[in-house]
Structure 1
């Protein structure tokens, strides 16, 4: 499975850019292999459309704004968020012909990011746990390109067997390599996976990121998968601290994704600084990427048909693949390379 070849993924929302990045004008982005342009309309709401003018195919992202519309840099044609041409200076017509239009996309702002669906969405943007809880703060962590398939990152997020090896320098425990039991509860658009993971607090994590003195502890972890490429991992420590990581990936092409990650925490800046939280999670993400970026982008879903031959720690990833196969079948799409 190559991620951009699955048409049904076009019907999901993906976070593509911090909305603050649009304050100084339109920006380009590539989603599912398609070049799009993003901008803020006259109500300061994000809009998205194909990054090609219908006149002579110039890149609209090199243009500017006029009354909330994107203006082509070539001949000055302006298009609204629905893709309709609202003005072209070469004509005296007050209302340009309806055939003068470009493709507009579904576009929303949520959690400080611009979310885009290329086709009619089959579900809304997920509502994340703690997002409207006043006892939790939000720490924005990472917005960067990663060189692996989105499903690889999703599977890795639920793979408890890799922790003690990939993360041996941050919180893994090589003295206890046997992965814990995982309890999985499926739902319509994904699943929840609960596990209790013994960890070894290293790199001053216990002081800088956790505000605790114990060298070893147990993380109670409830991870949620939102189809196709979003997860929220809610980690509860014995101190009562909750560290809830939201990780989203937007497919750029078959080999790369845009990573968006932020964290909800039930503490305050004076307890643990945002800088310390980001620094520790930076180490963890770098450890994962060092391995994930070596993997093949063409992910076979055949493993979903051989579940009996895999380790128990593979079960979340196997279920993920089975549910994607069911999604393809439901919407009449065959798995394509």
Structure 2
């Protein structure tokens, strides 16, 4: 019996040791920090702007019969935006057609008379005055036909103006009139922009002008994170008076991304290549405004506060807190969780 009890105590002691003993932690994966060749990018705030934008105005007077589009609608090129009453313009076209027919008839008569007089004048049957009058009537009738044709073209165009068409495909941003309203020549009707032609504009401080001249392309980063590169760069050669900076236009290539005028973007310009300390995102530990890494000091890893600048979603540039040759833990969050589980 005493032997059985002794064995039981021994088993319990071994179990307690296995339960309460700290778990062994595998050696964490580390990385040595060494300077790397890196191209830093300067970032500027820019805005999207439509290259093609227009306000469509009335080219004839009348009352609006129908509005086919409203604000925010997309419009194909050549589509009828609205229709204006056309009775007066139609009557003007009919009058111009009648005037042209009358001018042609008079011209036929005057040309025939001029031809007869040309045959009779050498024979002395027609006086010099009558011949001169026939010559003048011939020239005048020809000019009258030309004038009537011009009026017909004008009347036809005026009739066409009763249907206002979109000058390009795009989106409507403003509508200035209502159905049934009477409009006059020159009155604004619609405003819009082309969705196919966009550019980014930003203000460039004077000290960075050479960087724009040296870069063959500039990258524009949208709010969605999508980056678009462009080689069509147009920096102004004169300074903006208020900001004493250069305005730069970057014409963007065609893209499936939805771009809206006024949208804020980041403009990224490559700076001079430098040697910098770069660490992966996984090595960084953050709590609120506190940013740190686990740096090896002797045989231990200690939290070391650092100041970083993000390159992308994967990497940071170290601006303070570490030097070349330091060894840090590659996966800071995993190391911290393992440390807390082990009770250290």
TM-score interval, normalised by the smaller of the two chains: under 0.3
TM-score computed with the length of structure 2 as normaliser? 0.21
| Greater relative contact order structure (CA < 8 Å, 6+ sep) | 2
Relative to its length, the structure with more helix (as a share) is: 2
Larger radius of gyration: 2
Greater strand share, 1 or 2?
A: 2
Per the normalisation by structure 1, the TM-score is 0.21
